[in-house]
Every structure is written in structure tokens, then in C-alpha cells.
Chain A
């Protein structure tokens, strides 16, 4: 057993105040970004990771941005509690709010950043499914050979590559998350199953839909902890798109979720369990999202 009382390894520490300096430091071998610390320090203590250089980014002002005009901009340093306490986010992006609220205890949410939750790329990262359904993008920066800052923006949906793996290369930093403004007549919801409240998900699901009268005009469903990465439920989405919302007649479509996911058995749950509860979870999230889109959920 490793001793988690002390940090057993030595590293150098820097806290630059500009993004450019951060990016320069990130070019050094063995460097790692420190933001909230709730994941990184656990990994260092358990010796899953042994960085030679820690680059704390909290000194970079622009990464603290939290702005909601048309779209929602969440800088890399926005902490979970800031999202939890923000009423505009709660009203406009309820599924994101629900997901963030369900992560960890108060102290963790006071420390951890939303971006950190994504970058650690746990298949069960609760914030990923809602952001994916909203069509969120992430802005990634690095330094060119000439030493200039280069920018790229990709869909969050294309960001994850496997458990703990993302498209981020050494030298990259995710600087902000950009979430489009939902259209009128839309609704979203997030549901998860865990051993106890606030625990890590066995399985989670986010739904974002657009309602046209009693018809589901369009729908996006994303599932967490049910595959190597958070996944879209394309079969289920397709089957539900353009149909009349009626809980009693949607079961066959909802069952397609079992083909959309590829769960494994791990410490938190079994593949069989995940497969059998998935339709129930989607059903609950769908009902709630429909209600929030102004629909009659009792149909």
C-alpha cells in the first residue's frame, strides 16, 4: 500500500501568469497541468502518475472566464461549485446543472474544475453526457514550432479516445468549453445510478430534445459509464426522432439503447446490470426533458 499521507515523489512547480508561459512549460518533458488537484494529486499519491514538473494554471486570469451571452463559455478553471450556484446555467442547461451537482461532496465541488472532469476522461465523467447532447465544443491551444499560440476547436463528442485518453497531446491545454444556446421548445435532463448519492456513476444518461407539439422533433442522447468513452445513442435517437411522444409506445425504441452501449463489468457494476437498467434511465431522463420542453410527460 502506498502512503497517501505524503507525496512520495519530487517535482518542480511553476505557476505562470500568462497562457504563453504555461504553454512553454508544457513543452518540457514530464510536465502536468494542475488546476483543482482532486484527480491529479490522488494519482500522484497513488503513484499512478509521476510528473517531473507541475504547472499550476490558476494564475492565468483568462482561464477563469464564465460567461453566458448567447452561448455559454466555461474557462478551464471554472469550478464545479460555480456552475452549481449559477441560476442562469441551472435554468438554461438543467441537465448540466444536475450532472455537476451529482459529482463528489461539497469540498470536491469547491476544488474540482469542469474541464478537469473532462480531461481525465473517465468513461463515467458525469459532466460529459449533458455537454455532448448540447453540442458543446472545446478549445485547445498549444505552441507552434515558431512559438506562436495555435488554436483548434473540436466537438466534445470527438474529444474522448478511451478510458483516461483524449485527443490532447503533450503540450496541449484545453482552455475553454463552448456550449451553444438551446433553441426554444427544447428541454434537457440528466439521470444517473450510483451506489449512494454523489458517488461515481454505474451508468448515467443525458437527454436533450426539441419538441414540436406532441412530436419529438429532434433528440440527442448521451450515455456515460456504459462504454470506453461517453457515447451518443444513435439507434435510440433515430428511432425516437419524429415520433409522437407516448411513454407506452416508446419502449421498443428505448430498448435500442442496449445496442448503443457496450458496457463492461467493473468494480462499480456488471455489464448485465448496466444493460438492463439503461432503457429505464433513458426513459426517466426523456420524460423529464420532455416536461422541461413544455410537453405533457404523462402521455
Chain B
């Protein structure tokens, strides 16, 4: 069984055929060569695979590609405007909120979903928004600072 789907990825429409058991994460990484979303745990515990689906942060490791039919997907690759980085990308660099970088795409997308809804988030709201994103390097403080700074830009 192959199913035709049409999805919008980072602002462009695509038509493709997928198998029912293909995951959105793997389709993005393998078919689209968008390797920003990471495979961490595969079971919804780490948030490394976070992408935006119609503007909301979701886990692409627990989303079937067929389920994304007709929807809009944003990955970390879709955030910059040409060579100009998104304010959150800039602030993550400036605040040293990236160490190994494995969690960063997911972190930034969770943060983007938050500031799109709440342009001036409180610390507690930031913590809440990234609670589903695990970072084993930074200790989170620099990430929270970066999100605050990015929101102000």
C-alpha cells in the first residue's frame, strides 16, 4: 500500500507517495534531506524530533507521514530567511545555548511556537514550553536566557 499525500514543508508544497508505516521524522530526514529534526528516543520522551505542524510543536517520531497529509510543516531549516538567521537562532548562538547541538532544533522550534503565541513569555512559561525537550549538555539556564533574548529581538 502506497498513499499519495501533499504536504507543505517550510513554505513549499510537495506531492509524494508514502507507505502507511513511514514516520514523518524519517520522511523529512530521508526524502527531504532535512536532517535538523533528530531521532533521539523514538518514543516521545526527548523532543529532539520536534517540528511544527500548523504552528504547533509536535513529535515527528510519533507522527505517521500519512497523517500529515494536507498540513503545514516547519522544520529548523525553514526558520532562517536566506542567510539571515531567525532571532531565536541568533540568540541561541549569542547566549551559548548550544553545546553538542542535538537538542537545539527541537528546542528552538518549541520556543518559536511559544513566542508566536506569547511574544513576551515569562520564565515559567518558557520552562513549561520546553519541558518536553531534553538537553543533556547545557543545564537549560542558557537556553532559557536565549529564548528570552530571542523573544525581545
Contacts and interface: CB of A to CB of B under 8 A. Distances in A.
A13 B128 contact: no
A15 B43 contact: no
Contacts of B64: 13, 34, 37, 41, 54, 56
Interface stretch (A1-9, A155-163, A187-195, A213-221): A1-9
B58 A107 contact: yes
Interface string A27-57: 0000000100110011001100000001010
Interface residues of B, number: 35
B131 interface: yes
B44 A38 contact: yes
Contacts of B79: none
A218 B87 CA distance: 54
Contact of B42 (A5, A37, A108): A5
A105 interface: yes
Interface stretch (B7-15, B18-26, B93-101, B140-148): B18-26
Contacts of B44: 38, 42, 104, 107-108
A10 interface: yes
A270 interface: no
Interface in A163-214: 197-198
Contacts of A241: none
A110 interface: yes
Given A5-B39, A11-B21, A105 B66 contact: no
A106 B130 CA distance: 7
Instruction: Indicate the member of A3, A10, A12, A107 with the most B CB atoms within 10 Å.
Output: A107
Instruction: Indicate the member of B3, B61, B64 with the most A CB atoms within 10 Å.
Output: B64
A13 B20 contact: yes
Given A42-B43, A110-B57, A7 B110 contact: no
Given A6-B26, A11-B21, A45 B50 contact: no
Given A12-B1, A46-B43, 12 more contacts: A4-B61, A10-B21, A11-B21, A38-B62, A42-B43, A54-B20, A56-B67, A105-B132, A107-B57, A107-B132, A108-B44, A197-B131
Q: Which 10 interchain pairs have the tightest Cβ spacing?
A: A105-B132, A4-B42, A13-B20, A7-B21, A110-B56, A41-B62, A105-B131, A107-B132, A42-B43, A107-B59
